[in-house]
């Protein structure tokens, strides 16, 4: 057990940002509450920094740690342990992911003791070496729930999904490109999962965002000609991926034939994935800024609101 603990501490030193100073910890307002933010992470400093910037304001009120990766036990365990050692008796785990419909989310639930068994094949664990800018993948063996004290209360929040704050961000992105709404088709393009069921639900969630955008646009004047929600499914098998690619191109071609196509990436942060969209649309006409959900102050608002709502619900 001691050896395992040393490994966790070492891993934390290369996958996490530096902890607070003692002076900062002494000024924490809620000394029994910790916040653990789960985010995919990237070897791209810009991606990680954009996440860190929206998390930092929480540090005045709570003990805060970040665990990078896709339901990554190697980063989640030491982060939880550190929060407990600082005195956190309630830990709010914020899932900073685009969609709930993913094996990442289900594995998070299992690791945190909120699901009795794994619902999917174990996710690979990414080990980020931020110093040397390297990333290695490790497949977990006999994955078990994480260790927390019996007295520690874990509160898990929902991902971004179709939250109104996300719709507000997307509207901001669209307005920067929109000139004549009645002749414009908006394409909300998300990464998407491998599973057909997950993908269907992911698209439904994105459609809910589209409906909110329609309401926001109605307040501004003319409605958009159409708003389409789709996924590119980068990680699915070749046949599924190719089908998604051709559907994407077909939607853009149809939109361009009618008026203008505006392509909006429904991604958390820039890190290269959004650029793959452009390669799929080579030779086509469309409007594009490449702006993702971050940077935007609404993400910081979403994180704080998620924490506050989880704490409030825990008292009811």
pLDDT value of position 220: 78
Asked if 133 and 204 sit in the same domain, the reply is no
Q: Domain of 16?
A: 2-160+296-314
Asked if 46 and 98 sit in the same domain, the reply is yes
> What CATH number is attached to the domain comprising 54?
3.40.50.1400
Burial class (CB in 10 A: 0-12, 13-18, 19+), 48: buried
> Measured between alpha carbons, how far is 155 from 58 in angstroms, rounded to an integer?
16
Question: What is the DSSP-derived secondary structure letter of residue 17?
Answer: P
Asked if 199 and 176 sit in the same domain, the reply is yes
Q: pLDDT of 23-48, one tens digit each?
A: 456 677 888 999 999 998 766 676 68
Asked if 110 and 230 sit in the same domain, the reply is no
Asked if 185 and 217 sit in the same domain, the reply is yes
pLDDT value of position 189: 97
> Measured between alpha carbons, how far is 230 from 188 in angstroms, rounded to an integer?
6
> Measured between alpha carbons, how far is 199 from 188 in angstroms, rounded to an integer?
14
- Tell whether the model's pLDDT for residue 142 goes beyond 90: no
> What CATH number is attached to the domain comprising 216?
3.40.50
Q: pLDDT of 241-300, one tens digit each?
A: 999 999 999 999 999 999 999 999 999 988 777 888 898 999 999 999 999 999 999 999
Write the CA distances from 106 to 95, 144, 198, 258, integer angstroms. 11, 14, 11, 41
Asked if 126 and 46 sit in the same domain, the reply is yes
Asked if 284 and 309 sit in the same domain, the reply is no
Asked if 169 and 247 sit in the same domain, the reply is yes
Q: pLDDT of 171-190, one tens digit each?
A: 999 999 999 999 999 999 99
pLDDT value of position 135: 66
Asked if 39 and 58 sit in the same domain, the reply is yes
Give the pLDDT mean for 296-306: 97
Asked if 174 and 152 sit in the same domain, the reply is no
Domains held by the chain: number: 2
Q: Of residues 17 and 68, which shows the higher confidence score?
A: 68
């Amino acid at each position: 057990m001691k050896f395992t603990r040393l490994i966790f501490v070492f891993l934390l030193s290369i996958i996490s940002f530096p902890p607070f100073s003692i002076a900062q910890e002494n000024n924490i307002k809620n000394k029994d509450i910790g916040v653990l933010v789960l985010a995919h992470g990237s070897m791209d400093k810009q991606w990680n920094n954009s996440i860190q910037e929206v998390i930092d304001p929480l540090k005045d009120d709570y003990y805060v740690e970040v665990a990078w990766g896709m339901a990554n036990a190697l980063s989640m365990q030491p982060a939880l342990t550190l929060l407990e050692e600082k005195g956190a008796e309630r830990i709010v785990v914020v899932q900073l992911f685009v969609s709930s419909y993913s094996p990442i989310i289900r594995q998070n639930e299992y690791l945190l003791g909120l699901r009795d068994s794994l619902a999917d094949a174990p996710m690979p664990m990414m080990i980020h070496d931020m110093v040397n800018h390297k990333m290695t993948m490790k497949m977990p063996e006999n994955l078990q729930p994480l260790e927390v004290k019996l007295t520690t209360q874990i509160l898990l929040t929902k991902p971004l999904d179709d939250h109104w704050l996300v719709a507000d961000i997307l509207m901001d992105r669209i307005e920067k490109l929109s000139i004549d709404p009645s002749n414009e088709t908006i394409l909300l393009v998300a990464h998407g999962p491998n599973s057909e069921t997950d993908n269907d639900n992911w698209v439904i969630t994105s459609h809910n965002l589209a409906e909110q955008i329609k309401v926001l646009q109605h307040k501004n004047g003319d409605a958009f000609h159409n708003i389409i929600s789709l996924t590119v499914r980068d990680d699915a098998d070749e046949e599924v991926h190719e089908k998604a690619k051709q559907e994407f191109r077909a939607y853009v071609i149809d939109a361009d034939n009618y008026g203008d196509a505006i392509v909006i990436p429904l991604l958390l942060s820039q890190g290269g994935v959004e650029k793959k969209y452009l390669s799929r649309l080579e030779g086509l006409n469309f409007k594009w800024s490449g702006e993702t959900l971050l940077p935007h102050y609404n993400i910081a608002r979403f994180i704080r609101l998620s924490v506050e709502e989880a704490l409030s619900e825990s008292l009811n």
